[in-house]
Amino acid sequence: MRPANNRKWIEMVLARRGLPAVPYNFMFSPVSQRIAENHYGSPIDDAINLPIRMSGTKSIKPLYADPAVFGKTAKDEYGVRWSTSTIDRGAPIGPVLKEPTLSGYRFPEAGMPYRFEDLGEWCARKAEHFRIIWVGDLWERATFMRGMENILLDVALHRAFVRDLLRGIADYILETMEILFDRFEFEAIAVSDDYGTQKAMIISPDDWRTLIKPLLGEIYGYAKKRGRKVFHHSCGNIVPIIGDMIDIGLDILHPIQPEAMDILYLKREFGAFLTFCGGIRTQDLLVHGTPGEVRAEVMKLKELMGNRGGYILEPGITIQADVPPENIVAMIDAAMEE
């Protein structure tokens, strides 16, 4: 049975207590959100009663920057210029740090008032739900600022620069968290930081443990000190470091892409310590499968991954524009079925 209070539902799943119905969460791209709202109503979060509600600090470049509003490109707080798109988040265009040095670069100010506009009202309005606030990205932000090829070379050749860059980014996140914790009531922070490809990690596990883990430990640790749970998004195969992430305080791992990892193995190996969020195949099933196949996969995941709690059903990536409307509806209907 689904508990009456959404926040308590997620808390029960995290605690593996009472074995309630499997909760679900969906993140929509602009196109898929329009499809879902045309079918279920608007706003979609309320129409399908998502138990988790997510928000974050405002950016001068929103996640989905409409070209009609921003033009062909938009610059974020860190100075990174992005392409804009009507269907996705776009992509970084060239590094803002063209050389492996921070000389002349100034990190953004975490306390800018515009970043926190409307968050107090949002937190109050969503009090019956499990509220998660995105606080930023660390390694992934460094790749945006320097470029992927450059930052990987820097890990090998300019290690002190990489440490300084990650330290500056982490300090911005920690300052943001301090403001959030002092001003607002919510249940968890979310970090977005991709470490994996479909086959292996982007950065070696040893380098991750040396360069990223200590700073991530500070972020997780500060959240725990202030009574919040920790939700971490990382695409790709990150099996070698999941134990490390648990050790420093991770509560929810997202989106556990089944194309990259054996998610049933994850459940067996780490399910006593970690809640998983994700797991629906997005690269083949949602795009090319039939509604019946989508429904069958959702029901299977609810049974196998939801066994003994510790699981939140969700696709392995934000629902993209290439997912047919009938498959979006089949997935959501099966998720809500008790």
pLDDT (tens digit, 0 to 9) for every residue of the chain, 338 residues total? 788 899 999 999 999 887 779 999 999 999 999 999 999 999 999 999 999 999 999 999 999 999 999 999 999 999 999 999 998 889 999 899 999 999 999 999 999 999 999 999 999 999 999 999 999 999 999 999 999 999 999 999 999 999 999 999 999 999 999 999 999 999 999 999 999 999 999 999 999 999 999 999 999 999 999 999 999 999 999 999 999 999 999 999 999 999 999 999 999 999 999 999 999 999 999 999 999 999 999 999 999 999 889 999 999 999 999 999 999 999 999 999 98
- pTM exceeds 0.85, yes or no: yes
Tell me which DSSP letter residue 136 carries. Answer: E
User: Is 85 within the bounds of a domain?
Assistant: no
Question: In the chain, which residue ranges form alpha helices assigned H by DSSP?
Answer: 6-15, 30-40, 44-47, 67-70, 119-125, 139-146, 148-157, 159-183, 205-207, 213-225, 239-247, 263-270, 285-288, 291-304, 325-336
User: Is 173 within the bounds of a domain?
Assistant: yes
Query: What is the CB neighbour count within 10 angstroms for residue 160?
Result: 9
Burial of 292 (0-12, 13-18, 19+ CB in 10 A): exposed
Number of structural domains (the chain) is: 1
CATH of the domain at 317: 3.20.20.210
User: Is 70 within the bounds of a domain?
Assistant: no
User: Is 71 within the bounds of a domain?
Assistant: no
- Residue 60 CB partners (closer than 8 Å, separation 6+): 74, 75, 76, 77, 114
Query: Per DSSP, what are the bridge partners of residue 312?
Result: 277
User: Is 75 within the bounds of a domain?
Assistant: no
User: Is 65 within the bounds of a domain?
Assistant: no
Q: CA quadruple 312, 315, 320, 323: dihedral positive or negative?
A: negative
Residues of the domain holding 22: 6-59+95-336
The b-or-e profile of 181-213 (16+ CB within 10 A means b, else e) is: beebebbbbbbbbbbbeeeebbbebebbeebbb
Q: How far apart are CA 231 and CA 55, in angstroms?
A: 13
Q: How far apart are CA 16 and CA 252, in angstroms?
A: 13
User: Is 74 within the bounds of a domain?
Assistant: no
Q: Which helix (H) or strand (E) holds 252?
A: strand 252-254
The answer to whether 220 and 230 are in contact (CB under 8 A) is yes
User: Is 80 within the bounds of a domain?
Assistant: no
Record the tokens describing residue 317, joined without a space.
């990536």
Q: How far apart are CA 211 and CA 201, in angstroms?
A: 14
